[in-house]
Homo-oligomer: A and B are copies of this chain.
Amino acid sequence: MFFASDNSGPVPPQVLEAMTRANAGHVAGYGADDLTLSVTRRLRDLFEAPEAAVYLVPTGTAANVLSLACLCPPYATVFCSPTAHIHEDECNAPEFFTGGAKLTLVGDSDRMTPETLRAAIEGEETRGVHGPKRGPVSITQLTERGNVYSIDELRALTSVAKEYGLPVHLDGARFANAAVRLGVTPAEMSWKAGVDICVFGGTKNGLMGVEAVLIFDTAARSSSEAVALQHKAAEFEYRRKRGALLFSKHRYLAAQMDAYLTDTLWHDLASRANARCDQLVQGLKGAGLRIVNDTHANMVFFEMSRGAHRAVMAQGADYHLWDSEDGPDESLAVARLVCDWSLSPEQVAQFLDLVRAAA
Contact = CB atoms under 8 A, between A and B. Distances in A.
A167 to B, nearest CB: 15
Contact of A243 (B93, B247, B318): B93
Given A91-B131, A93-B243, A127-B89, A8 B23 contact: no
A50 interface: no
Interface in A279-323: 318
Given A91-B129, A252-B208, A244 B11 contact: no
Contact of A73 (B97, B98, B132, B235): B235
Copy number in the complex reads: 4
Interface in A1-40: 2, 4-5, 7-11, 16, 19-20, 23-30
A166 to B, nearest CB: 16
Contacts of A92: 74-77, 100-102, 132, 242
Nearest to A1: B26
Contacts of A30: 128-129
A5 B203 CA distance: 29
A34 to B, nearest CB: 13
A162 interface: no
A164 interface: no
Point out which of A4, A73, A91, A252 has the most chain B C-beta atoms below 10 A from its C-beta. Answer: A91
A241 to B, nearest CB: 4
Interface in A59-86: 59-62, 65-66, 73-77
A7 B74 CA distance: 27
A248 B203 contact: yes
A247 B318 contact: no
Given A16-B23, A203-B248, A242 B91 contact: yes
Contact of A59 (B7, B91, B101, B247): B247
A130 interface: yes
Contact of A244 (B4, B93, B131): B93
A136 interface: no
Interface of A: 2, 4-5, 7-11, 16, 19-20, 23-30, 57-62, 65-66, 73-77, 88-93, 95-103, 127-133, 203-204, 208-209, 224, 227, 235, 237-249, 252, 318, 340, 342
